[in-house]
Every structure is written in structure tokens, then in C-alpha cells.
Structure 1
């Protein structure tokens, strides 16, 4: 290789790996497998060793990997959060063991720990209280996510009395159990949102949310495994694990003290098989020299400790034949391609189908042909995924798989919006899966919660011609005699159904709005819209500029609302539902003023607060005569700012010289 070629290859690999690091750590949406990333990283390290004159000072080989997001306060780590070197084979582990022995002799032990597939977190405790939680970030500084981490039940906020130091740091991994991931991902898909690929991505995306109330709704967990103090309290890592467990921290019980590399390899082989029986994902085993003095003697490289290494499991991969590609239509009209496979055993379960995500996946990344032999992987993915195609087995006359152009259910020409990967069927009022899906969504527990009506009943009533719109549900009491003649329903079940339908008319506006099934309007967004606009008429006629002033309403949601309410069929449906006396107005509570100390004063509340929610602060202001504004202007008297406030609001408030106060300072105004 010439110097010119080496320089170009180093530059290309550096840029590519930096982008992959950004995708993984910041966006929480990786686009490359860990094994492939590590292979490229090793390739870059070898080139830099041969041609050091071309190495970037900020090369990925010299950095931990993460970057700091702009939405959170940056905090410098007292002790750098280094990453571990990775290996994928036993020989490299044996080489690691020999390097240790050469440096410190034969008298040492290893601690083996499961390598959780989550988000690294550093917790600082002062006086037994959780003071701060910071992400790994770039290893030197990370994001302060304390407010969000306080919502994790397994992380103690106050420790019981014990022999722990006044100030210490403990590190671990925030993760999500598979069952919780599956349930929450199903909800995202029901709301027309893009599902997360795996629990690790979901956990990472959750920790970086701006609203801690939303974080609290997503069940995260955390295992802790690393104690850091100014003064060494214990001789070994194993002793420290037992101690922090006694202090009340959530420690994984599968760790093992090993006397030699043979025991380490046995532990690895055991968990390579047993990992699929856990309720959470692990992607390897971490091996650490146990004695702290020996760790100090071994020292560190620029980015990782010499006394520890990570053995990464290869994701289980099998080969099978693609039998056909079929397409599913969701209630929002999104058309999802599915690979139907020759059944094959993978990670303990029989796999018959795998997700293909979208047209780009079929036609660009995989370049899939009919009856291709494909490699399917599960690994950290809950849903099996096609990784690649075995081109050696492709038949010479095989035809490329072409994404369908028309809806498989109603034959309507599909549409693909700018900036979106998915194709949609626009025939939302005439496409059977969309019609049935919307009615099933409407009756659901988180929407109208109609007792006596289930998904199968909705499908039966649609097929028999009883219902074809949401409003038809409220006509069923007029057809009770016809329902009895169907033979499927007894008189008691019909009465229960009709009673449930009648009771649903008491549901508040936010539930009705969510039940309408407007794309991107999930349960939380519906609450925000109902609270801001107060009634359906104001929401339906709100222009774009007014829609985006509502809390958490961005461009995509605003455009979706405008599109929905511009449809004549949707407006007619709402009028029918109004006729059935459903609630399309937010019930205003009669305000009892506690005082008039804030009379004539206007406020905006932004950010996250530890003691009060934003709604509670809003109530305090209004109960004392103050007024809440929707946007910052020269008329604003105070901006009440909490953690993680948006930088745009802060900048505008400073430009207009608007006083910025804390929640404590707000309460002082009432004294």
C-alpha cells in the first residue's frame, strides 16, 4: 500500500467510525453490528501503527466513543469513564491472560460479570443521597440526566444508614427488560411511531428524553458494578461488590470469582448458552483483575484499562430460504414488508418470519431476490432480522423483489412522504385493515376503554356490516335485536357491550382525541393538545404557527393534525360523535384563588423540576392570580426555568431581558 492510499484509507475509516459512534451513543440508533465496528476499529489501529504520521489526534482508536448531546448540562467526570477492549475469541483471552501474568506474576484472580446491553451511567452520592447521574458521554464529560434517573425504581434515592463514605461514585448500566420493550414497542407502532430495534436503543432514547414524567412511564432497570472513592476502602473488586450490595444497591447475582483463565472460559461458555433465558439482554462477559493494587500496577492505555477486557458474544446467526415477501397494513396506513422464511431454529425459538422494515431495506441494502438464501440474526434484536444474502446460492434466473406499488388490502396507490422511509395507503376511510384497526384502537383501554367490546368483536361487526366508522359504534343500541339474531352474542353480552358504549361517553376530551387515531398523536401528545387548546374546534382550526407553540408539538405532529382536520370525512365523523354527546371540550375546573399576589403577572414554565411537576407549578401560578402564556414575548414577566430547558427559549428570554427564576424563587413571590 502506498502512503497516499494509506492516508486516504485512514481518513475514510476515521470518518466512518466517528459517524457510527455518533449513531450509537448520541442518536441511540446504531447502523452497524458491534462485530463489524470492532473489526473496522482494529483495522484503523493497525494502519495508524504503520503510518502514525496520518493518524487523527481525535481518532476513534483514542476515544471512548460517545459525544455529549446539546439538550443536557455537561458534567465533567471526576474519574474518566473508559471503555473496555473487546475480543471475540478464546485465543485473544488467553493472550490477555499471558500479558497479565508477564506483568504481575501468577498470583491473581479474575472477576467475571455479565456484560449488560444498556447505557453506561455514573451515580454520585453525597451523605447517602443521590446527588447526580451522568451518562458516559465522551468518557471525559457526559450529560446530567439526574431528573430522569430518579424515576428508576431500582436506583436508591436515599441509602439506609451504613458504613459508606460521605462522597462516592458508583457506576452501572441502565437497561430495559425484554417484556417491557415488547409492550412499549407495540404501543409505538399502534401510535404510528417508528419502533426501536432493541431494548438498548429504547433505554438510551428514554434516558435522553426531556420530560421526566414520560421517562417514569417507561420501566427502566439498572445494575451497578463499579465503586469509585477518593480513598480506597477495599482490597478487591469482589469485596466492593458485596459491600455496595449491603448498602442497598441493585447488584447482578451472576458475577463469579475465578481463579484462572480456564474457569473464565468455562463461565463464558456457560453464559453463551444460558443468556437467552435471562429477562434482559447481555452481549458478552466482562473480565477484571480482582485486586485493586494489581489493577494500579497494570495501569491504563489511552482509552481502556489494561486489567480488564470484554468478551463479546457473536450474535446467533442462521441461514434459511426466503419463501415470500408479504405486506401488512397498520391502522395508520403504514405498509410493512415481512419476510416469510423456511422455519429455522434460532436462539431457542423457531423463526418463520423476519422484519424487512421498508423498501430501501429490500431494494438497496439487501438487494433481495426471490427465494434467496438469507442469514438471519436475533442477538440483541427481539424481532429476527435479515442481515445479508448468500449470493453463492442465488439462482441465475432469480428476479429482484420489488416493493409493491398498491395497497395489498384495497389496491390504492401507495404514497411515500418526503423524509419518511415507509409507504402509506392514503385510503384511510376505505381500506379494511385501517378501518378495523382504528375502531380497535378507539375502544382500547388507553382510549375509550369500552367494556364488552374487544378486537375480535369489532372485526366480526365490521365483516357483518354493522360498523364501518367509529361513530357507528354508538348506533349499535338501535340494532340490538339484529345483534341477537347473529347467534354469536347472548343477551347478557350484548347488554354489557351497550352499557360499556354508553359509559364511554363520559371519557374526557384527551381520551377521545387519542382514540381518533390521528397519526403521531399518542396518549401523551393528546393530553398536551387537550390541555393547550381546550376544545376540538380550536384545535381543528389552529394554524401551523399556533400548533407548534403547544408543549412538545413539533413540525411532524403539527402537519399531521392539519392534514387530518382538512379531511371532510374526518370533520363529518367528529360532528357525528358530538351528536352522540362525546366530550370534545376539556373540563375546566373552577379556579379558587388562594391569593392575588401574582395578579397582573405572566409566566412561562420550561424544563424539568425536582419538587413540582410543570402542571403543579401552573396551578400554583393560576391559583394566585397569575397567567400562563404560550410563547415568549416582551409581554412576559417571568420565565420559570428548570433542568434541561430548551436553549432557544433561554436565548430569546435573555435577548428580551425577561427575568429567569427557579421554582423556589417563584414560591418566594408568594411570601
Structure 2
């Protein structure tokens, strides 16, 4: 074996480890603790050799034996597992994914599939550098453009502390516990690492693992994922980290968002990250001019089908860090980077049928079932037609010869009709194929108006009703709802309140205690706040803010329902909030008068309440639930004051804090400016807002100081 300076010395579990361990009951605590420390050190080394060096020194069976032994020791002797590799098996389920601000913006980059645009990018770079008197050579660092999910991963003093999705570039979703389960993400950095390091990586599902995972889903009766990117994104956003741990995710690191060291160049970043145990792609290259960068892209295009992961182009970056600083960025993208995209794969086949699928949100999506055709090594038998407007635009019908492509490089789309059958395009149904309710068009898209009564939407509607965004009924997560539906105990939200302890206790995995707890939770949800009840109903387009505005303007649920359902003989012919009205236009005007409600939202509310199926479910639901009248008064304790919130608060969600401010006559905005009076700073606060506050002389308040201010002004 070649000498390896990073190899732990005197560790018996590194090279040719003996996995015939003595029974744990024969060990004392000191011996167990020493062995556990050695196992952790060895497993971290084997992870590095496998994921970073791609040169493992032991086989999978030996690795699994070491890992299992470590778990056994930690469990038997109740050893501290913080930072241990065993944390990858997943932690406790989360209620929701919290928002978290990035330490630095995670911007997008300009992109094109046209070679002329790439050469124009090079001309802009050179012109921009000349204007700054830069006299160095322009080289490009070239790397594949991975088709996965971008994440920020933060290390402090070498320890993994946080991970977040890209989100809008400024704020993402906190996926720390899920990313912790990914084996190629080290829990602790190696070597001489910086005190602080925030890196950008791409989480993906390897092709081979994706194929095997989809096969398992199909065999178990579940729908397969459309492509590896969707599989990775859905897995990373799971609320239960143990589910993420069971799915085969990997990561490539490719950038630094912030660090307490200077790398000098993108090539320097690529060289240093593996020294700290962070996995990078081995298909990168530094080239001397844009023509060599174009050649690099063409080589990757030829090679992509043989890779173990999906790529949809390459990224070209000016390599020198000083040059990048001089070029800077626009409001949306750096001037020193460009994505040269691959062309989407296209093929021809015949449409044999078109079916309309109903999604959990009620959106209707037409799908073309086709003769099998191979596209980029993948056999495709169905493709999305997206919406009725696209069908009309393409003129596609059953029997047509069509051209398809893998949009975004992987999702099959029908892009044109090559040869029609003469019978015209497919006629989109007027009624939902799942429940028969009327289909409403919203721009190019179509939605079932069945809502609570539509079987295709029922699982989603019950989950949403019980979720934290709804009535926050503990014990009614996705798995529990699925069990209740499969057992025919629940068809809609109204059935929840008719569940008994005996019904629930008979379900697999339930006992009398858990059954009693859920029944008690449901009983406690019989008198919800009006805005929470409106949000829980899952009315299309109505989220928490709109629900609060509706509650404040109308006061009672009955007033909202009467305004939406209408009355052939309105009392005085005047359109006023909370009063029943006779025709559609008048009803729309009532709701459009509510802040944050426009024509589309108004129509959605009216359609929801006028649907016969929804009315039937609501009638039953109101036999069990009494939504509380809302306080329609507005105070002035915070009048004239503007607040901005950053980070997470202990006692409030950000929405609750903003509502509290607004109800007291203040304003809550999303960004700091010269008009801001206070920046309220919680845990994991974003640095950018704090810097903006400093520049604008905005006073910072901790959560306790915020509460003290509210109390002082009589807003609590």
C-alpha cells in the first residue's frame, strides 16, 4: 500500500481491520470509549478515501462491520454521538423546514447554448478587465454543470454546523439534518482547515442509484421519480431525516461562499477543498483562452452519457480571483462566470394515447403515452404536454408523429408535431376525470375545482389541514394520513373528528396511548382561529397572509362564505364586505377589496365556496369545528415604525411577528433601508441585513429587546 500521510497511525481499523469483535458485554466503559474513538477516526478516513480520493482501502463489508460496531458501542454505553459518523442514519423528524439566510448571496449565472454568446462573454470579460488596468492573462477554470440541487454548507472550527438550499439566492431552506446524512459530506474537516468555511455544493442522485431506487418504488406500488434531479430535491426536503438517510444522495463541492483564508483562484479552491475532505469533480480543467473552453465543453458533451451523474452543460469561470473581484457582478449574476449549456436531446415517436393526471394541488396535467423510444440511453414511453394551452399551440392529437426532447436534459416534453393524423388536436376535458367537478382555466393551466371532495386531492388536503401551515395537529403527518386513507377511515378533513381511540389503536404501529393523544389533539382543534382555519382548508391561492387579511376584513367564517356563495336577492344592492351578493362580478369585487387579493385569488375563493363537493364537506366540517371570530381592530401602538426580521425567533414564527407588528399599526418589510427603524435579530441571522443596518444606522434588537419594546408601547 502506498504511503499515505493522512492515514491515522496506530489505528487497528484502518488497514485490513479485524471485524471479529469481542461481545460488548465483555468491555468496560473505558475500553468501549477508546474503541469507539478509534472507529470514528477510521470511518472518517475510509469515507475520505472512498468519496474524495475514489481509492478505498477496505471493502464494503468490512466498512459496514466497522460502522455497525460503532453504533453498537454508542448504544450500549450511551456514548456522546455529536460529530459521530453514526449521525448519518438520521435524526428526529422536523415539523417544517425553517428559512435561513445565506452567509453570502448564492447567485445564478448567465447561460446560453449558443457558441456566439460564449465568445461575447469572453469579449465582455476582456473589455471589463482592460478598463480596470488588469495586466494578467485571462484563463478559464472549466467544470461540468451538475444537474442537481445547489446547497450551502457551513463549517465552524472544522465542524459541520449548517446546510441550506439555494432558495432565492438570499434565503434558503434549512436542510442541516438531511445533509448530515449524506456520506460524502464530512461531519468534520481534515488537515489544517480554516476557522470558518461556507462552501457551495451540488447534491445529486447518481444515475445507477437512481435507476435502482426507482425500480424499488415501482415494485412497491409508488410512482417513480421523473429524473435524478427531482429525486434529489424531493429527498433533501424531507421532514424526516431518516428517509433522507435511506436514499442514495451524493455531493460535489465546487465553490466557496465565505472563508477565513484566501484561495487566489478557482483552481486553488478546487485543489484545497479535497485537502479538507470535501469531494470535488475530477473533470475540471484550466484553459488559456475561450476557444479551448469551447473545446472542453464539446468533450464533456460527448462524454456525458458515460458519466455516473447528470450534467446539462459546463461552467466557465475566470480563474484568477483578483480578476473576478475587478469584474464584480450585476444585480443577478457574476460577470466572471458563464454556463455553456448542452442542447436538449430530441427524438421522434408516435402518440398512442393522452391521459389527464390530477395532481395533489388540483392541477390537471396532460400526459402523452407513446411508442417506446430511446433518448440518450433512456427508454421513454411518456412525455408531459404540460397544459391545455400547449396542446392547442402544438396541435397534438392521438396518433400524431411527434418530436420529443428531455427538457432540462431529463424530463421528456413533446416539442412539435412532425406528422398529424388529420383528426385535430386532443380536446381537453371540461370536467375533472377524478371527481367530475368543473375544470377552471388559470391562464395556460387547468385546475379541478373539486378541492376537498376530489379523491385525487384528498390526501394532500387532509395532510395540509393537519400540517403546521394549517391547524398544526400533532401526530397527523404524511405517514399517518396515508394509513388513515388506506384503512378507509378518512376521506376528507371532516372525517378526522369522527375518529375514535378504538379505530386508531387497531392500526399497525399504533397503541392506545398514541391513539388517545391524536384524538385529544383533534378535540383541541375544534375551535381554531379564523385565519388558521382558512389556511387549513387549502383554498387555492390562499396562504397565511391572505387568510389573515380575509379574517381581519370579514370577521367571521360565515361572512366569508356568504360573500362567496352569493344570494339572489341581496339586501340593499350595495357591495360591502361580509354581505352576501348576487352575481359573480359583485362577489369578485367584494374579495378584491381585501388587501393582497387580486382578480385571480378572488375567483379562486368564490369558485371554492361555490363548488358543490366543497360545500358538502364544509357543511360536515362545521358540525365539528367552530372557527373563532377574528379581532378586526387595528391598534396604533407601533404606528410609523418599520421593522425587518432576520434569523429565527424562539417565541414567534417570522409570520407571527410580522402580523403582530402590522396589527399594532407598524410596518414589516423584507429588506433594510434608510426607512427602517429596527432590525430584529434572531438565531442564524444573515450577515447581509446586519451590514445594511449598520450602513443605514438602523438599531438592532434581540428577541427579548423586541418584546420589551412591544410591552413598553402597549403592543403586547
- For 1:618 and 1:271, how far apart are their aligned partners in 2? 48
| 2:366 corresponds to | 337
Q: Is the 8 A contact 1:436 1:459 kept in 2?
A: no
Structure 1 stretch 239-248 or stretch 369-378: which is displaced more? 239-248
The change in CA–CA distance for 1:467 and 1:387 in structure 2 (over 3 A counts) is: same
1:362 counterpart (377, 391, 407):
391
Q: Which residue of 2 aligns with 1:373?
A: 401
Query: Quick check: 1:667 aligned with 2:697?
Result: no
Deviation at 1:373, TM superposition (A): 2.2
Asked if 1 retains the 8 angstrom alpha-carbon contact of 2:396 and 2:420, the reply is no
Matched, 1:401 2:419: no
Contact (CA 8 Å) 1:406, 1:413: kept in 2 or not? Answer: yes
Residues 262-411 of structure 1: pairs in structure 2 closer than 5 A: 268=300, 271-275=303-307, 277-278=308-309, 282-286=311-315, 312-330=341-359, 332-347=361-376, 349-364=378-393, 366-378=394-406, 380=408, 383-389=411-417, 391=418, 393-395=419-421, 397-409=422-434, 411=436
Q: Deviations over 1:464-497 (max 9, x none)?
A: xx876542454465997xx9xxxxx979899879
Map of 1:577 onto structure 2 = 621
Partner deviation per Cα, 1:50-90 (whole Å, 9 max, x = no partner) = xxxxxxxxxx99879xxxxxxxxxxx99x99xxxxxxxxxx
- Asked if structure 2 preserves the Cα contact closer than 8 Å seen for 1:530 and 1:586, the reply is no
**CA distance in structure 2 between the partners assigned to 1:585 and 1:375 by the alignment:** 56
Q: Tell whether the 8 Å contact from 1:318 to 1:376 is kept in structure 2 after alignment.
A: yes
Separation in 2 of the partners of 1:435 and 1:120? 32
1:407-460 CA-partner distances (Å, limit 9, x unpaired): 33455553324xx32233445576554567645765789875548965476367
Mapping for residues 464-543 of structure 1, pairs under 5 Å: 469-475=492-498, 502-506=519-523, 508=525, 509=528, 515-521=536-542, 525-526=543-544, 529=547, 533=551, 538=556, 541=559, 543=577
Please give the TM-score of this superposition, normalised by the length of structure 2: 0.48
Alignment of 1:47-62 (within 5 A): none
Match of 2:280 in 1: 252
662, 668, 690: which one pairs with 1:630?
A: 662
Q: Return the alpha-carbon distance in structure 1 between the equivalents of residues 346 and 267 of structure 2.
A: 35
Give, in whole Å, the separation in 1 of the partners of 2:502 and 2:553: 31
Higher mean C-alpha deviation, range 335-344 or range 546-555? 546-555
**Are 2:445 and 1:422 aligned?**
yes
Give the superposition deviation at 1:327. Answer: 1.2
CA spacing shift, 1:265–1:321, aligned 2, 3 Å: same
Instruction: Please name the residue that 1:609 is paired with.
Output: 646
- The answer to whether the 8 A contact 1:326-1:339 is kept is yes
Q: Tell me the CA shift for residue 354 of structure 1.
A: 1.6
**Structure 2 unmatched runs, 5+:** 1-105, 159-165, 211-225, 237-248, 561-576, 579-588, 679-696
- The residue aligned with 1:225 is 255
User: 1:607–1:646: 8 Å Cα contact kept in structure 2?
Assistant: no
User: CA, structure 1 residues 376+618, in 2 after alignment: closer, same or farther (shift >3 Å)?
Assistant: closer
TM-superposed CA distance for 1:339, in Å, is 0.9
**Relative to 1, partners in 2 of residues 1:438 and 1:120: Cα closer, same or farther, differing over 3 Å?**
closer
Q: Distance in 2 between matches of 1:519 and 1:316?
A: 35
Cα distance between partner residues in 2 of 1:178 and 1:548: 48
The whole-number CA distance in structure 1 between the counterparts of 2:608 and 2:370 is 37
Deviations along 1:536-592, one digit per CA (max 9) or x if unpaired, are 963563659998999987775565445545668756744643543x5745999xxxx
Deviations 1:509-533 (A, max 9, x none): 4886555332234xxx359847995
Shift of residue 362 of structure 1?
0.6
Please give the root-mean-square deviation of Cα atoms over the aligned residues, in Å.
Answer: 7.3
Corresponding residue of 1:11: none
SS at 1:363 equivalent: helix
Map 1:127-276 onto structure 2 (within 5 A): 146=170, 148=172, 223-225=253-255, 237-243=266-272, 252-256=280-284, 268=300, 271-275=303-307
Closer, same or farther: CA 551–150 of 1 in aligned 2, 3 Å: farther
Change (3 A) 1:109 1:537: closer
Please state how far the C-alpha of 1:160 moved relative to its aligned partner.
11
Name structure 1 gaps, 5 residues minimum: 1-25, 46-59, 65-75, 81-102, 129-135, 137-142, 182-195, 207-218, 484-488, 589-597, 622-626, 651-658
Q: CA contact under 8 A between 2:395 and 2:424: conserved in structure 1?
A: no
SS in 1 for 2:441: coil
Quickly say closer, same or farther: Cα 1:413–1:259, change in 2 above 3 A: closer
Q: Cα distance, 1:325 vs. partner?
A: 0.9
d(CA) in 2 for partners of 1:539 and 1:227?
A: 48
Q: Distance in 2 between matches of 1:383 and 1:644?
A: 40
2:145 to 115, 128, 153: 115
How far the C-alpha of 1:240 sits from its partner, in A, is 4.0
